Amino acid sequence: MRLLFATIEPCPTFRPDVAALFGKFLPRFGVTSDLVAERAPGVAGEVSWGGGEALLISSRDGRSGRYAANLLHYALTLLRADLLAARLKKLPFFYWMSFPTPEGQIYLARERGLSAGLLRFLFPLLWRGWMHLFLLYRIVLPRADHVFVQSDRMREDLVGKGIARQKLTPVVMGVDLEASVPEAIAPADDARLKGKRVLIYLGTLARGRRIEVLFDMLKILRQRFPDVLLLLVGEADDEVDEKRLRKLADDAGVAEATVWTGWLPPREAWRYVRAAEVGLAPVPRGSMLDCGSPTKVLEYLALGVPVVANDNPDQERVLREGGGGLCVPLTAHDFAQAVSRLLVDEPLRRAMASSGQSYVRASRGYQTLAKLVADKYAELLHAQ
């Protein structure tokens, strides 16, 4: 089975649902994919794509120029593939929806306002927001032969928007268990972490994630644990938002107890996870994020680190079924209380880490998820 796979993610990508699922594990079940994507910045020469052929464009212009060049690249690639012939031959069109991106862009524009300039307000609001909202829900999803969604909750959301339930298959996020072997990943040797009780947040620092609650949590924790340290491994949407977050940390009086690494490649980021005692997973409740399947909890548990998370539906399920951490309301007080419980009880930390790791290995490895996806593809093609 061979797919033409167009994605907005640059190549090589570090998104596990692209790199691991399509680039590594699906080919083992006979599902290959030719990838249509933008070449990642700073990557020269031939790019290896494990799923098949990489059909890439190198964009060096500014933001608007890149969007225009990428759009043209995708259009020309699809034209070369002869879409009309494909539809006449009844080749199916599948859509993967990992996040309600138009709603996310509208939220970003409204939250950021004009702080980053008029263009950076209008572009996500009007084009990537409202225009994409129309295209996605009125044209793409209704006309797709099948839609793979991120979670059971996302399926229910789309059914509520008029998409037929039988066209929707949830595929949750997973972990590459062959790559995330704790014994093969040395803890980060970072002088800033020496002698500290390290708490880690791994992932985006985007405004919508409201990670500032962690600064207030840290302020509470330092009254009991003066050596506690918050490690942020990820990046904000832009410099404006990073400055906003750093000011909030300073306002909370915890700037000197917060370490910012910026974005790191997965294996390097995992070294910092291995250096931590507790993994943090705050995900604000709401329609936009409730439909997600956060990866950070799975990565923490795969690497043997217990978790404090709030009740995002998928996170709550993982912790309830796997016993790998504590699920509490998303408040500074509740997070601080849960972290305190883990910091003072090493046997509990070890037990939760072991239980959660076993759960992830049994049910959330990409080898397992790839088999489910390959079987679904075969079923869909057989029904054509």
Buried b (16+ CB within 10 A) or exposed e, 87-117: eeeeeeebebbbebbbbbbbbbbeebeeebe
Task: Give me the residue label for tokens 């950021």.
Answer: 112
State the Cα–Cα distance between residues 163 and 176, nearest whole angstrom.
31
Instruction: Please determine, for residue 48, whether its predicted confidence score (pLDDT) is greater than 90.
Output: no
Task: Give me the residue label for tokens 């994507």.
Answer: 37
* Relative orientation angle of helices 346-363 and 313-322, to the nearest 10 degrees: 110
Given this model, what pLDDT does residue 44 score? 78
Spatial neighbors of 338 by CB under 8 A, at least 6 apart, are 308, 326, 328
Tens of pLDDT, residue by residue over 59-92, are 766 666 777 888 888 888 877 777 666 767 778 9
Given this model, what pLDDT does residue 40 score? 86
Residue 83: HSE in the Cβ half-sphere, 13 Å Cα cutoff: 8
Given this model, what pLDDT does residue 295 score? 94
Given this model, what pLDDT does residue 300 score? 98
State the Cα–Cα distance between residues 305 and 353, nearest whole angstrom.
5
- Closest listed residue to residue 279, CA positions, set 287, 289, 269: 269
Tens of pLDDT, residue by residue over 166-214, are 999 999 999 999 999 999 999 999 999 999 999 999 999 998 899 999 9
Contact (CB, 8 A) for 262 and 203: no
Given this model, what pLDDT does residue 254 score? 98
Given this model, what pLDDT does residue 91 score? 84
State the Cα–Cα distance between residues 345 and 325, nearest whole angstrom.
13
Q: Tokens standing for 248?
A: 């909030």
Tens of pLDDT, residue by residue over 109-135, are 888 788 777 877 887 888 788 999 999
State the Cα–Cα distance between residues 7 and 38, nearest whole angstrom.
9
SS3 at position 303: coil
Instruction: Please determine, for residue 354, whether its predicted confidence score (pLDDT) is greater than 70.
Output: yes
Q: What percent of the chain lies above the pLDDT cut of 70?
A: 97
- Closest listed residue to residue 203, CA positions, set 82, 284, 83: 284
Q: Across the chain, what does the average pLDDT equal?
A: 92
Q: Distance from first CA to last CA of the chain, Å, rounded?
A: 14
State the Cα–Cα distance between residues 105 and 277, nearest whole angstrom.
34
Given this model, what pLDDT does residue 126 score? 83
With bands split at pLDDT 50, 70 and 90, how would you rate the model's confidence at 247?
very high
Rounded mean pLDDT, 350-373 = 97
Least confident of 67-71, 158-162, 231-235: 67-71
Instruction: Please determine, for residue 315, whether its predicted confidence score (pLDDT) is greater than 90.
Output: yes
State the Cα–Cα distance between residues 283 and 44, nearest whole angstrom.
36
Contact (CB, 8 A) for 34 and 50: no
Given this model, what pLDDT does residue 110 score? 85
- Burial classification of residue 37, based on how many CB atoms lie within 10 Å of its CB (0-12 exposed, 13-18 middle, 19 or more buried): buried
Rounded mean pLDDT, 269-293 = 95
Given this model, what pLDDT does residue 265 score? 92
Given this model, what pLDDT does residue 384 score? 72
